[in-house]
Amino acid sequence: MLTPKCAGVCDTACIDVCPCDCIAGPPGVQMFIDPDDCIDCGACVAECPVDAIVHESDADPIDVAQNARFFADRHRGDEPDL
């Protein structure tokens, strides 16, 4: 999952290496990783220049909730409320 370290940086190299296209986000704001689609391959971790990617079990619960809300909104067709 992506942490707030990504906010404002939004380097998209992680998207380019993701084999399952589970990384998304509003451009220039923050990227998020869909926990339902992520296969935990780790390909994105090495690409992140700010070390913003951590396993969900190591993330702050607030970040986990924000990430889940982003994808819940997308699956409903709504714009995420950041």
- Decide if 46 is inside a domain: yes
Q: What's 71's domain CATH number? A: 3.30.70.20
CA-based nearest residue to 1, from 53, 61, 76, 72: 53
- In-domain check, residue 82: no
Flag whether 53 is in a domain: yes
Q: Kindly give the parts of the chain with pLDDT less than 50.
A: none
What pLDDT does 9 receive? 86
Q: Which residue shows structure tokens 């990227």?
A: 31
Phi-psi region of 42 (alpha: psi -120 to 50; beta: other; left: phi over 0): left
Does residue 81 lie in a domain region?
no
What pLDDT does 18 receive?
Answer: 96
Number of domains in the chain: 1
Question: What is the average pLDDT score of the chain?
Answer: 87
Within-domain flag for 48: yes
* Structural domain includes residue 29: yes
Strand boundaries in 1-82, DSSP class E: 23-24, 32-33
- Full domain range(s) for residue 19: 4-76
